[in-house]
Amino acid sequence: MNGELKIISGSSNEPLAEAICDHLGSQLTPCLRDTFSDGEIRLEIQDNVRGCDVFVVQSISNPVNFNFMELSLMLDALKRASARRVTAVVPYYGYARQDRKVSPRAPISAKLIADFLTTAGMNRLVTIDLHAGQIQGFFDVPVDNIYAAPVLLENLRQREDDMVIVSPDAGGVERARAYAKRLNAGLAIVDKRRDKPNQAQAMHVIGEVKGKTAVVMDDMIDTAGTMTQAAKVLLEHGAKDVIACATHPVLSGPAIDRLEASAFSEVIVTNTLPVPPEKLKCKKIKVLSVAGILAKCIHNVHTESSVSVLFV
């Protein structure tokens, strides 16, 4: 046994941390989070954690660098306070798209983040739907990359439409195929040409979508350029309805305006990232909670039970 279970929240997504505590029948461990006048982060764990099994809930999300630094300082504080084990619960792992060198003198940012968190005091990582599964190999500590699939599949199975699962690009085919298999649905791919970062040009559809409800499946919606262009092409190819489905609602820049003006009838996301009230004014967005699966994972890690039961 790893000592008493403690859950601490960073400032990126405290509502999710509170929902996890509700599932576990526990309370958040108090933590002072503030900034000095020059912008430096001031942080202090306000309860005894010596010998405890501590889980820190913090997404590396906007403001990305602030939330990453806050998480690192929390890990360091817990290490110095003699916590028995410190697990970082990072529902959204920022910098994951920078997982390889795309030019001769570019960093591999996702690897640097992994090294930084481990040095700061992280003994284990729990995350959801990594952008690239091989990022797990960047860590020298155990990584549990669990999936939001159970939550998203439950919602999709309630629909009686004749569905086809669509990957918005070639890189997401494996993900889309996994959902199509579990839903006994068809599979389609939107051929896409990307000219600049955060700008994509959708071209044509591989697969049969005519007369069906097309569910465009991706791990995240950032600026929504890829998603909205895919929706337009799918309608042009005869889809009767188009739904967007993604785990991480990054929703940066013009995303909300694009989704509002898009052909999507619904945009299904989870609460790995908080969706601000002003963005929820977009009536197409439906947010599902991953608190339950994160709570099960935390419970199983704490009790040394198998985490594989959470994979579908």
Cα dihedral 140, 138, 272, 98 in deg (nearest 10): 160
Which candidate, 165, 166, 28, 173, places its Cα nearest to that of 89? 28
Q: Would you call 37 helix, strand, or coil by DSSP? A: coil
Q: Is 232 a catalytic residue?
A: no
Centroid of chain to Cα 172: 15
DSSP 28: B
**Residue type at 15 in one-letter notation:** P
* 85-98 per-residue burial string, b: 16 or more CB within 10 A, e: under 16: bbbbbbbbbbbbbb
Cβ atoms of residues 12 and 59 within 8 Å: yes
In the sheet with 163-167, reading across from the earlier edge strand, the strands are 199-206, 186-196, 163-167, 213-221, 241-249, 266-270, 285-288
Rounded distance, CA 52 to CA 167, Å?
A: 43
Cβ atoms of residues 131 and 99 within 8 Å: yes
Q: 101, 181, 192, 286: which one is catalytic?
A: 192
Rounded distance, CA 130 to CA 97, Å?
A: 9
Cβ atoms of residues 80 and 68 within 8 Å: no
Three-state secondary structure of 82-111 = CCCEEEEEECCCCCCCCCCCCCCCCCCHHH
Centroid of chain to Cα 292: 15
Three-state secondary structure of 200-259 = EEEEEEECCCCCCEEEEEEEEECCCHHHHHHHHHHHHCCCCEEEEEEEEECCCCCHHHHH
**Residues taking part in catalysis:** 192
